[in-house]
């Protein structure tokens, strides 16, 4: 059997628990970023045909106007 000091065992036990918690934290954080990024990101569009101002979700460069259906590019500031 392997003889290790109690302080070494305690250090390994605590550090392995912290590594598991840190790994779970990283996994769930990355998962939430992927899942909710589409919902969080909103872009503003200005219709050049009817003049309405509207917003749309997602990472798209072009969106259809809800008033007239014209395709508009997103506003850049
Ligand atoms: Zn329009």
Which pLDDT value is given to residue 26?
A: 97
Sites in the chain below the pLDDT cut of 70: none
Instruction: Tell how many helices (H) and how many strands (E) occur in the chain.
Output: 1, 4
Q: How far does residue 40's CA lie from ligand 1's centre (Å)?
A: 24
Q: How far does residue 67's CA lie from ligand 1's centre (Å)?
A: 5
Which pLDDT value is given to residue 23?
A: 98
Instruction: HSE, CB side, 13 Å, CA atoms: give it for residue 12.
Output: 6
Q: How far does residue 33's CA lie from ligand 1's centre (Å)?
A: 32
Q: State the Cα–Cα distance between residues 45 and 48, nearest whole angstrom.
A: 9
Q: Which residues have beta carbons under 5 A from ligand 1 (an ion)?
A: 47, 49-50, 65, 67-68, 70
């Amino acid at each position: 059997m392997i003889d290790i000091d109690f302080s070494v065992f305690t250090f390994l036990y605590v550090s392995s628990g912290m590594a598991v918690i840190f790994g779970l934290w990283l996994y769930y954080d990355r998962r939430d970023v992927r899942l909710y990024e589409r919902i969080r990101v909103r872009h503003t569009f200005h219709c050049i045909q009817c003049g309405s101002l509207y917003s749309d979700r997602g990472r798209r460069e072009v969106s259809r106007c809800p008033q007239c259906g014209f395709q508009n590019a997103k506003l850049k500031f």
